[in-house]
Amino acid sequence: MLNHYLTRLTVGSTSVNLFHCRNMHLLLNKTLVNGDWISANCKKELAVLNPVNGNIVGNVPDMDATDTQFAIDSASKAFYSKGWYDLTAKDRSGLLKKWFNLLEVNKQEIANIMTAESGKPINESLGEIAYGNSFVEWFAEEARRIYGEIVPSPHPQKKIYITREPIGVAALITPWNFPHAMITRKAAAALAAGCTVVIKPAEDTPLTCLALAKLASEAGFPKGVFNVITCSRSNAPSVGDLLCKSPLVAGISFTGSTEVGRLLYEKCASGIKRVGLELGGNAPFIVFESACMTKAINGAMASKFRNCGQTCISANRFIVHESLYDEFVAKLTAAVNALVIGDGKESNVQIGPLVNEAQLNKVKAIVDDGVSKGAEVIVGGKELPDKGQLFYAPTIISNIQPNMRLYTEEIFGPVVSIIKFKTEDEALKIANDTRRGLAGYFFSENLSQVFRVARRLEVGMIGINDGAISAAEAAFGGVKESGIGREGSKHGIDDYVEMKYLCLGSLE
């Protein structure tokens, strides 16, 4: 049953609970490098905590630059010396399909691990796994469609060809909020292209990554093709620095904050390294005068409160037409008050804790800043210590002004900030008044307005009358300071391949 713990395990010296499953072979305390399950060279470990209650879920190696160099060397050797570079697209596709099938068979166990280490409600964990697995399935198919070109030559004695070749070793740095999907979205594309990978998962949620690595190993990926480096926050800077600067690493793919992305971008500049960045957002959510209120409320709840608001494409600033403002606030308040808050292991829970103390403190500080400058809390706006130390109440705040952090910063928590507008131009001015441009949402039943606003909204992805826009088939990415490149879709391969021009001359 999902409603209670049935299996008790011991990790290190700490007794922890996990959901009942057929087996628990995916809860690991070592990491995969060069085909072997190893500890850190220094023998140190990092404890992974359950944000609901602070209990230890498991321990993973706390690796450093020495371990990272070994992983890079292993990935490079696997690419050049062990045949991965020369493996056919059909063979790579077959391995990805085997990985996908194993991920599907073991989705319940992975979901239990994810909920335990992230606090995410179990139904959301299962949903993320379905989403994440879809990337493995998608890129298993795309592996056989990485086509070249034959270009008409201007010279009768020459033939011109363009091929697409894997770049080499790809370093993948992933966040804690989607510990499954952010890895599969990157790794499946890189592996499909013919690259080998070194993955550094977030410090808060490495256990899900290790479960994915275990199943990749079981699928039959050769030694050194799939490598994982787990480490603490104190070791993360040196690990990241080496991944960015090593001449053996051909490209970096990073999902995380704009601030960290900017630092990685700078570090990669010295080697002119291929960079893919999916960074922070400040998503507008516009409700125009013609909007269907039911669609708008459903879209708001889907976009804002998934994973307790800890998503990069979460709606951040709600910009509502003055004629609908009171009705929207009343109906959204009723929906927020109906949310079930608690431990994500319970199947009826919709809102879990924030992932760590730093995240809780950030959300509190942003709300407190707004209140000190005149913002009005309609509902929430406080911690929920009776639920646990990292719980924050789903919150709605009005009277938002441009000098407030609620207006200018990505909240990354369960907080709705509402702004009233009169005209379309005013709404677009507010929506575009940010250096971030990842996602945006608007609700309108006016077809002319739909196309007009979609063209003028300065974001990489738009949900129109829809608050849930992610899919493996779609091109995911932003503009402005929200990133470089696209993930998913047929374009997800692009970060991991180079175009090579071949000129065949002296033909009779």
pLDDT (tens digit per residue) in 350-366: 999 999 999 999 999 99
Show the tokens assigned to 164: 């697409």
Which residue range(s) make up the domain with 411?
283-471
Q: For residue 85, count CB atoms less than 10 angstroms from its CB and return exposed for 0-12, middle for 13-18, buried for 19 or more.
A: middle
State residue 10's pLDDT score.
Answer: 35
Q: Judge whether 175 lies within some domain.
A: yes
State residue 5's pLDDT score.
Answer: 27
Q: Judge whether 164 lies within some domain.
A: yes
Among 301, 56, 264, residue whose Cα is nearest residue 174: 264
Report the alpha-carbon distance of residue 243 to residue 254 in Å, rounded.
11
Calculate what percentage of the chain has a pLDDT beyond 70: 95
Let me know: does 141 contact 167? Beta carbons within 8 Å. Answer: no
pLDDT (tens digit per residue) in 63-72: 999 999 999 9
Residues in the chain: 508
The pLDDT of 291-303, averaged and rounded, is: 97
The pLDDT of 220-237, averaged and rounded, is: 97
What is the pTM for the complete model shown? Answer: 0.93
3-state secondary structure 299-313: HHHHHHCHHHHCCCC
* Residues 217, 329 share a domain: no
pLDDT (tens digit per residue) in 371-429: 999 999 999 999 999 999 999 999 999 999 999 999 999 999 999 999 999 999 999 99
Residue 278 annotated to the active site: yes
* Residues 306, 244 share a domain: no
**The Cα angle at residue 475 between residues 473 and 480, in degrees rounded to 5:** 165
pLDDT (tens digit per residue) in 92-127: 999 999 999 999 999 999 999 999 999 999 999 999
* Residues 173, 74 share a domain: yes
* Residues 417, 400 share a domain: yes
Among 284, 293, 312, residue whose Cα is nearest residue 412: 312
> Pick the catalytic residue: 278, 410, 458, 487?
278
State residue 2's pLDDT score.
Answer: 29
* Residues 336, 215 share a domain: no
Q: Judge whether 197 lies within some domain.
A: yes
3-state secondary structure 238-252: HHHHHHHHCCCEEEE
The pLDDT of 294-310, averaged and rounded, is: 97
* Residues 208, 73 share a domain: yes
At 32, the pLDDT band (50, 70, 90 cuts) reads very high
* Residues 389, 275 share a domain: no
**The Cα angle at residue 236 between residues 234 and 241, in degrees rounded to 5:** 125
Q: Could you please report the per-residue DSSP string of 366-425?
A: HHHHHHHTT-EEEE--SB-TTT-TT-B--EEEE---TTSHHHHS---SSEEEEEEESSHH
Show the tokens assigned to 261: 């992305």
Which CATH number characterizes residue 273's domain? 3.40.605.10
State residue 23's pLDDT score.
Answer: 54
* Residues 320, 374 share a domain: yes
Calculate what percentage of the chain has a pLDDT beyond 90: 94
pLDDT (tens digit per residue) in 277-289: 999 999 999 999 9
* Residues 212, 309 share a domain: no
* Residues 313, 460 share a domain: yes
In sequence order, what are the beta bridge partners of 359?
A: none
Q: Helix, strand, coil % (nearest 5) of the chain?
A: 40, 25, 40
Q: Judge whether 4 lies within some domain.
A: no
Among 164, 214, 183, 239, residue whose Cα is nearest residue 30: 214
Out of 55-64, 78-87, 443-452, 465-474, pick the least confident.
78-87
Report the alpha-carbon distance of residue 88 to residue 94 in Å, rounded.
10
* Residues 240, 299 share a domain: no
The pLDDT of 190-204, averaged and rounded, is: 98
Q: Judge whether 269 lies within some domain.
A: yes
* Residues 251, 189 share a domain: yes
The pLDDT of 488-502, averaged and rounded, is: 97
Number of domains the chain contains: 2
3-state secondary structure 448-486: HHHHHHHHHCCCCEEEECCCCCCCCCCCECCEECCEECC
Let me know: does 437 contact 477? Beta carbons within 8 Å. Answer: no
Q: Judge whether 504 lies within some domain.
A: no
Single-letter amino acid code for the residue at 315? A
Show the tokens assigned to 114: 């994810």
Report the alpha-carbon distance of residue 327 to residue 322 in Å, rounded.
10
Report the alpha-carbon distance of residue 401 to residue 405 in Å, rounded.
9
Q: Judge whether 69 lies within some domain.
A: yes
Among 303, 255, 308, residue whose Cα is nearest residue 118: 308
User: Could you give phi then psi for residue 174, rounded to 5 degrees?
Assistant: -120, 155
Among 292, 303, 294, 257, residue whose Cα is nearest residue 416: 303
At 15, the pLDDT band (50, 70, 90 cuts) reads very low
Report the alpha-carbon distance of residue 86 to residue 422 in Å, rounded.
60
The pLDDT of 311-324, averaged and rounded, is: 97
pLDDT above 80 for 196: yes
State residue 475's pLDDT score.
Answer: 97
The pLDDT of 327-340, averaged and rounded, is: 98
430-445: b (≥16 Cβ within 10 Å) or e: bbeebebbbbbbbbbe
Single-letter amino acid code for the residue at 453? V
The pLDDT of 287-307, averaged and rounded, is: 97
The CA-atom distances, in angstroms, between 312 and each of 41, 183, 283 are 34, 15, 9
The pLDDT of 291-312, averaged and rounded, is: 97
Q: Judge whether 332 lies within some domain.
A: yes
Among 256, 266, 262, residue whose Cα is nearest residue 233: 256
18 SS3 class: strand
Which CATH number characterizes residue 407's domain? 3.40.309.10
Q: Please write down the long-range contacts of 455-462, taking CB distance under 8 Å and 24 or more positions apart.
A: 456/428, 456/432, 457/284, 457/428, 457/431, 457/432, 458/431, 458/432, 459/281, 459/283, 459/284, 460/486, 461/313
pLDDT above 50 for 210: yes
pLDDT above 90 for 16: no
